[in-house]
């Protein structure tokens, strides 16, 4: 792994924001502009707020941008004790976070993957708080049935008895290598820059540990309710920008239980959607094609 790392064009300020009894870590770029809402960006599962640095750097115009580490990720606190995490908690955290960052005006809201799922729900539940909405591959989850509940509850109970662990690493180079194993399209310089944001050095062992609560690995006790999610999506008033990578492979996640065609059918319930698919791009769109993602977001947010 080369020793050189990416050099940010725009340097973030680190903030601590109290959110429902937890200290949330928030990165802030730029300054407020009259008549331009802040852009709030929420990362996906096992990711961190700093992951959006490459997109922020690729924006042509200066604007106020915030990105937060979800509870139990990055430098945000984890609730103690924690058995598992739920969408309802993320939704409550986002509501409190926006009250702190923009109490008197709507925001432009963007989410990737898990974060995309949360911002979609939020925009339907609190439509007055979102001016424009961006979803980067927040697909939702396969449809579940009531008869799945006994097996899910058994799995959750069994996992509660099993300590969850995340692998640690000898060096930052090993962390960067792992990031590139997860996403071979990730540029080496990007991986080297992300590594100390994705992991931290343990003072006792000197090894690098992932900045994520291992409890995130536990299955949720609650089944994903597609009809409830779509009822929320139907209430979205903000225009929605949907961006997907043409190389994203849903089959490796869900087999034939949930297809891209089924997702696009779900997306049709949203009133106003602009859709894009990016070539040479997988699930980590903000890493694979930050220039294209930034250009699409900027044009969408600035459109009259």
The answer to whether residue 26 sits within a structural domain is yes
Q: What single-letter DSSP state applies at residue 240?
A: E
Is the residue at 72 inside a domain? Answer: yes
Specify if 202 maps to a domain. Answer: no
In a domain, 174, yes or no: no
Q: Evaluate whether residue 180 is within a structural domain.
A: no
pLDDT value of position 2: 46
The answer as to whether 204 is a domain residue is no
Look at the chain and report how many structural domains it folds into. 1
Query: CB–CB of 55/294 below 8 Å?
Result: yes
What CATH number is associated with residue 247? Answer: 3.40.50.1820
6 located within any domain = no
pTM for this prediction: 0.96
Per-residue pLDDT of the chain (304 residues; tens, 9 = 90+): 445 779 999 999 999 999 999 999 999 999 999 999 999 999 999 999 999 999 999 999 999 999 999 999 999 999 988 888 999 999 999 999 999 999 999 999 999 999 999 999 999 999 999 999 999 999 999 999 999 999 999 999 999 999 999 999 999 999 999 999 999 999 999 999 999 999 999 999 999 999 999 999 999 999 999 999 999 999 999 999 999 999 999 999 999 999 999 999 999 999 999 999 999 999 999 999 999 999 999 999 999 7
112 belongs to a structural domain: yes
Which residues contact residue 95 at a Cβ distance below 8 angstroms, ignoring those fewer than 6 apart? 122, 126, 129
- Write down the pLDDT at residue 64: 98
Q: Where are the beta strands (DSSP E) in 88-129?
A: 107-112
**The pLDDT of residue 82:** 86
pLDDT at 211: 96
CA distances from 63 to 98, 157, 187, 200, 225 (A): 17, 46, 26, 29, 36
Q: Which pLDDT does position 1 carry in this prediction?
A: 40
Q: What is the extent of the structural domain holding 92?
A: 13-152+214-302
164 CB neighbour count, 10 Å cutoff: 14
pLDDT given for residue 84 in this prediction:
86
The gap between the terminal CA atoms of the chain, to the nearest Å, is 45
């Amino acid at each position: 792994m080369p020793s050189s790392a990416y050099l940010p064009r725009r340097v973030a300020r680190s903030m601590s924001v109290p959110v429902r009894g937890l200290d949330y870590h928030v990165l802030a770029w730029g300054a407020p502009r009259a008549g331009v809402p802040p852009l709030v960006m929420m990362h996906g599962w096992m990711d961190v707020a700093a992951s959006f640095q490459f997109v922020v750097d690729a924006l042509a115009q200066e604007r106020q941008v915030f990105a937060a580490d979800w509870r139990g990720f990055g430098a945000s606190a984890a609730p103690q004790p924690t058995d598992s995490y739920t969408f309802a908690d993320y939704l409550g955290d986002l509501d409190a976070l926006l009250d702190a960052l923009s109490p008197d005006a709507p925001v432009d809201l963007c989410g990737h993957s898990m974060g995309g799922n949360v911002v979609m729900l939020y925009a339907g539940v609190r439509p007055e708080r979102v001016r424009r909405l961006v979803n980067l591959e927040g697909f939702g989850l396969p449809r579940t049935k009531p008869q799945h509940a006994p097996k899910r509850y058994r799995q959750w109970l069994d996992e509660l008895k099993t300590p969850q662990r995340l692998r640690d690493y000898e060096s930052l180079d090993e962390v960067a290598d792992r990031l590139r194993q997860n996403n071979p399209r990730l540029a080496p310089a990007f991986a080297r820059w992300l590594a100390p944001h994705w992991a931290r050095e343990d003072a006792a062992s000197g090894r690098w540990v992932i900045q994520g609560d291992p409890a995130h690995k536990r299955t949720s006790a609650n089944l994903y309710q597609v009809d409830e999610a779509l009822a929320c999506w139907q209430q979205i008033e903000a225009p929605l920008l949907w961006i997907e990578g043409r190389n994203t492979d849903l089959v490796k996640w869900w087999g034939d239980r949930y297809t891209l065609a089924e997702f696009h059918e779900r997306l049709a319930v949203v009133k106003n959607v602009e859709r894009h698919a990016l070539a040479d791009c997988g699930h980590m769109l903000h890493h694979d094609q930050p220039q294209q993602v930034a250009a699409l977001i900027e044009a969408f947010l600035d459109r009259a």
